[in-house]
Amino acid sequence: RILIIDFGSQVTQLIARRVRESGVYSEIQPFNAVTVETIKAFNPKGVILSGGPASVTGIDTPRAPQGLFDLGLPVFGICYGEQTMCAQLGGSVEEGDHREFGRAFVDVTGDCELFKGVWAVGAKEQVWMSHGDKINAIPEGFRTVAVSSGSPFAAIANDEKKFYGVQFHPEVMHTPHGAQLIHNFTHRVCGCTGDWTMGKFREEEIAKVRKQVGTGRVICGLSGGVDSSVVAVLLHEAIGDQLTCVFVDTGMMRKGEAEEVVTMFRDHYNIKLVHRDAADMFINKLDGVSDPEKKRKIIGATFIDVFEEEARNVGGADFLAQGTLYPDVIESVSFTGGPSVTIKSHHNVGGLPDRMNMKLIEPLRELFKDEVRILGRELGLPEHFVGRHPFPGPGLAIRLPGGVTREKLEILRNADVVYLEEIRNAGLYDAIWQAFTVLLPVQSVGVMGDARTYDYVCALRAVTSTDGMTADFYHFDMEFLARVSNRIINEVKGINRVTYDITSKPPGTIEWE
Ligand code: XMP
């Protein structure tokens, strides 16, 4: 196992993820909670120091426990981690005169265990940099093994002590061989065997949940999405009937989805499930509302009311389980630590735990979406469920710019079915992060069978993404778009025109509202 000491970088979780991908268990501890004793108690095979926003040159800056460097453990410092290791071992760091951000190239000038089989001396390698300070002298016992134009000590090594430092970020995708460097650290340098798997994660989480919950009762909001489904099945495996799932049917789901959720969780998994059909209530509350934020807030608040009522009906609970993922955690924390701008009010059951005096259980908090999918498969969830595109909490309401009516919901549902069917038939579903239709509050004139039509316009959306935070529109071929357009106009009553949305995120967002 590997200990990651977090100095507050935006991408510390990515380090953990790369370590997991190398088949090694890791835990992240914030720098201000780590002591030599806690390290010894954790008993890691090696320690990684993360990047962070602080400057080593400031007074009273974040440090690793000094005793760490006397434990005989391998240490890998990344960015700020390299700088603090340098400063703490007798090197020096100064404020840089030019900051290095983004793509850069390093020249590999020396060999070391970290580079074995990945980077060769003399090669020029692409990396991702993000730093302001600069090391200007390295501690005794270290050698420089890579340099860049902005970083004369882009990578340093002390083979005898097994201390390594890099100024760049090997954990991000923009450092193409970064994952292999981290693999070399965990395997070659620390001697980890690499037999950790998602199966182990499942066992560990089940044990943790059992310990946390004891004989208490847990309630879990089921939405039909991958995340809450995985949480429900994991918890059910851990605590059986101490878990009750509540599925609030907002009436904003796609065709057939509500039935599928109920059948699968109640009949197949035998999970205690409360199904509350609240469609009328949601539609009534949304009547005449067209402002996107108002719609989101109404849905969020109504959801909480209904959920709370149902939770009370089943006798309340001590814990609320949520499928919060790591990207949800970072999206809610701004880069500078200050309040970030709210682009959209995300719909979740935030606020409930306080109101109902429940403690939170979030077993997926450290995982990324694709890791959750692996865990879902591990738990035996069917492939078409695990591989599902994300679906927003407010559902179809935010795919109907303008007012929400039963009629429009029906038209949207019918168009969505056709579009997704064509995507699946073309074998494109898994290549796309998310695909859906949007029904515009615009009518256009058409001609069908010699008659004039005056019907709604439908926009198709499909994007590729790795985390939903940035996205590009999917480049369909024209034949495909023509087929979908044809079918929608022929088969879906109420639509006479189809457009394709070619906006990426940013500047657009994935959903229209
Ligand atoms: P945007 O539209 O902000 O969406 O680019 C990014 C991802 O988040 C999903 N999304 C939501 N998910 N509750 C959710 O659980 C919400 O309120 C919500 N709004 C957007 C969206 O579908 C995309 O995957």
Q: Are 324 and 362 in contact (CB under 8 A)?
A: yes
Measured CA to CA, the distance from residue 495 to residue 443 in angstroms comes to 8
Report the Cα–Cα distance between both ends of the chain, in Å, rounded.
43
- The answer to whether residue 82 is domain-embedded is yes
Residues 115 and 14 in one domain: yes
Tens digit of pLDDT for each residue in 368-377? 888 999 999 9
- The answer to whether residue 415 is domain-embedded is yes
- The answer to whether residue 392 is domain-embedded is no
Q: What are the tokens at 513?
A: 């509202």
Q: What are the tokens at 36?
A: 């030599």
Residue of 387, 306, 316 lying closest to 347 (CA atoms): 306
Residues 36 and 123 in one domain: yes
Would you state the pLDDT for residue 483?
Answer: 98
State whether the beta carbon of 327 lies less than 6 angstroms from ligand 1.
Answer: no
| Per-residue pLDDT band at 329 (split at 50, 70, 90) | low
Q: Specify which residues 454 forms β-bridges with.
A: 445
Rg of the chain's alpha carbons, rounded to an integer? Answer: 26
DSSP assignment, residue 74?
-
Between these two residues, 235 and 131, which has the higher pLDDT value?
235
Residues 286 and 212 in one domain: yes
Domain boundary among 358, 386, 414: 386
State whether the beta carbon of 434 lies less than 6 angstroms from ligand 1.
Answer: yes
Domain of residue 76, CATH code: 3.40.50.880
- The answer to whether residue 162 is domain-embedded is yes
For residue 190, indicate whether it is catalytic.
Answer: no
Domain boundary among 386, 414, 436: 386
Count of beta carbons in the 10 Å neighbourhood of residue 373: 21
Q: Range of 60's domain?
A: 2-189
Asked if residue 22 belongs to a known ligand binding site, the reply is no
Ligand 1 centroid to residue 174 C-alpha, Å: 25
State whether the beta carbon of 394 lies less than 6 angstroms from ligand 1.
Answer: yes
Domain of residue 426, CATH code: 3.30.300.10
Would you state the pLDDT for residue 389?
Answer: 93
446 by DSSP, 3-state: which? strand
- The answer to whether residue 233 is domain-embedded is yes
Q: For the chain, how many structural domains are there in total? A: 3
Residue of 322, 232, 302, 295 lying closest to 269 (CA atoms): 232
Bond preceding residue 382 cis, omega within 30 of 0: no
For residue 79, indicate whether it is catalytic.
Answer: yes
- The answer to whether residue 148 is domain-embedded is yes
On the question of pLDDT at 474 being above 60, the answer is yes
181 by DSSP, 3-state: which? helix
Average of per-residue pLDDT across 360-369: 89
- The answer to whether residue 397 is domain-embedded is no
Q: What are the tokens at 32?
A: 């201000």
- The answer to whether residue 90 is domain-embedded is yes
Residues 421 and 466 in one domain: yes
Residues 113 and 39 in one domain: yes
Residues 445 and 330 in one domain: no
Query: Measuring from atom 19 of ligand 1, which residue has the nearest CA?
Result: 392
| pTM assigned to the model | 0.80
287 by DSSP, 3-state: which? coil
Give the strands of the sheet with 359-361, arranged side by side: 272-277, 243-249, 218-221, 319-321, 359-361
Query: Measuring from atom 14 of ligand 1, which residue has the nearest CA?
Result: 392
Q: What are the tokens at 332?
A: 């809610």
What ipTM, to 2 d.p.?
A: 0.98
Q: Are 52 and 62 in contact (CB under 8 A)?
A: yes
- Among the residue ranges 123-132, 402-411, 418-427, 487-496, the one predicted with the least confidence is 123-132
Count of beta carbons in the 10 Å neighbourhood of residue 268: 11
Residues 137 and 243 in one domain: no
Ligand 1 centroid to residue 376 C-alpha, Å: 20
Residues 78 and 129 in one domain: yes
Domain boundary among 189, 218, 235: 189
Q: Are 471 and 510 in contact (CB under 8 A)?
A: yes
Furthest-apart CA pair in the chain: how many Å?
86
Domain of residue 238, CATH code: 3.40.50.620
Residues 410 and 333 in one domain: no
Would you state the pLDDT for residue 506?
Answer: 83
Residues 321 and 234 in one domain: yes
Residues 70 and 177 in one domain: yes
Looking at every residue in the chain, the average pLDDT score rounds to 92
- Residue 223 CA: which ligand 1 atom is closest? 15
Residues 364 and 235 in one domain: yes
Q: Are 27 and 47 in contact (CB under 8 A)?
A: no
For residue 171, indicate whether it is catalytic.
Answer: yes
